[in-house]
Chains A and B, each alone.
Chain A
């Protein structure tokens, strides 16, 4: 019993919250969750179009090198990001609620995108990624921080969506 309590104490101590400007990461023994939120002054359909047109991602998103496939529910996509340009992640589009919520994932984790239109033309975009599992402690140290990449993603999305929104009619 004492051993278990000590283990729990150590693990709780190791759980940390890393906060940078915008993105934050919560670490526990068996998982890590990074999230970022940003307000975007644009119609949700513009933001949604940017998030669901795979081949267009590298044009506006400096964190994505390539994204292949069809972003539709149940489809597989192949993502190469600047976080690890030598790896291509094969992800499944697990959930897609038009202009509201989208989930990509594989066996190790999930990325959730949400849009919330607080007032007309003002959208809060949130991106959250949780990775983990029983084996997570073994490979956690090899996974780079997502914070800067998440901040850049959100910033690129805001910039592009607002440029499109402001285009003349």
Chain B
């Protein structure tokens, strides 16, 4: 029998992971805070129904995932070219760079790092996956859950988890192969280096890129391996606690608002 004390301890232990997981699903700081609070309350209310079929952590992730799915049920998925659309919107909005520059210079978490932007970009692009596929990809490759645990979290079976993981990985490989200039000479998106030029004008992007394993391995023909290296970058960044958190959360909030308008104007 698990008591309130153990639940509180488990919640405290995995709160940061839960928070970043929900942010990556919703792209909204406000929704993340609300879902985390709902998860805590529901876990306490339903603790007597916890049978120990999984770990408490898995159970908490299941509650948070269900809540996030409820919140996003009627939301459309983002397009693959989300960063192009958001870039256009940012360029036509003088307030965007003004606010970002203020954060860059005044916030303790306003650094710009290419690695952070890679993780931010991953969050945006992964919202073009089907929601189930996005959740499975995050749970397996970023939060290191086993297939069996993911099946419990998603209330499905292991073969379906395998299906969603495969579909998610293949789609992400294809999108980044087409878009990301860090791994592909034909890549059409250079936003991370462009933004590095704006926020870190003194810094040489090449020197920063040389520190990133994914970029170093970009000649590698194994695109799945490059995705694994990208996922490692994501795994190692806490979007709320890193030195670049405020700046990247500002970008994410901007992209989410742009997407909400875009999807309203383009309903098909």
Contact = CB atoms under 8 A, between A and B. Distances in A.
Interface residues of B, number: 17
B69 to A, nearest CB: 17
Given A42-B159, A164-B159, A169 B146 contact: yes
B130 to A, nearest CB: 7
Interface of B: 130, 146-148, 157-160, 162-167, 170-171, 174
Contact of B166 (A45, A167, A169): A167
Interface in A42-64: 42-43, 45-46, 49-50, 53, 55-56, 59
| For the complex of A and B, 7 pairs with smallest distance between CB atoms | A43-B159, A49-B163, A169-B147, A167-B162, A46-B159, A45-B159, A164-B166
A165 interface: yes
A45 B163 CA distance: 9
A46 B147 contact: no
A50 B163 contact: yes
A163 interface: yes
12 contacts: A45-B159, A46-B159, A46-B163, A50-B163, A53-B130, A56-B130, A56-B167, A163-B166, A164-B159, A164-B166, A169-B146, A169-B158
Contacts of A160: 166
A49 B160 contact: yes
A55 to B, nearest CB: 8
A21 B83 CA distance: 47
Interface in A132-169: 160, 163-165, 167, 169
Contacts of B159: 42-43, 45-46, 164-165
Interface string A5-48: 00000000000000000000000000000000000001101100
A169 B160 contact: no
A50 B160 CA distance: 10
A151 to B, nearest CB: 23
A56 B130 CA distance: 10
Interface string A94-137: 00000000000000000000000000000000000000000000
Nearest to B151: A169
Contacts of A55: 130
Most chain A Cβ neighbours within 10 Å, of B148, B160, B162, B170: B162
A10 B166 CA distance: 52
Contacts of B164: 49
Given A160-B166, A164-B162, A167-B162, 9 more contacts: A45-B163, A46-B159, A49-B160, A53-B130, A53-B167, A55-B130, A163-B166, A167-B166, A169-B146
Contacts of A45: 157, 159-160, 163
Given A53-B130, A59-B170, A169-B148, A164 B158 contact: no
A45 B165 CA distance: 14
A45 B148 CA distance: 15
Given A53-B130, A169-B147, A169-B148, A46 B167 contact: no
A120 to B, nearest CB: 12
Contacts of B162: 46, 164-165, 167
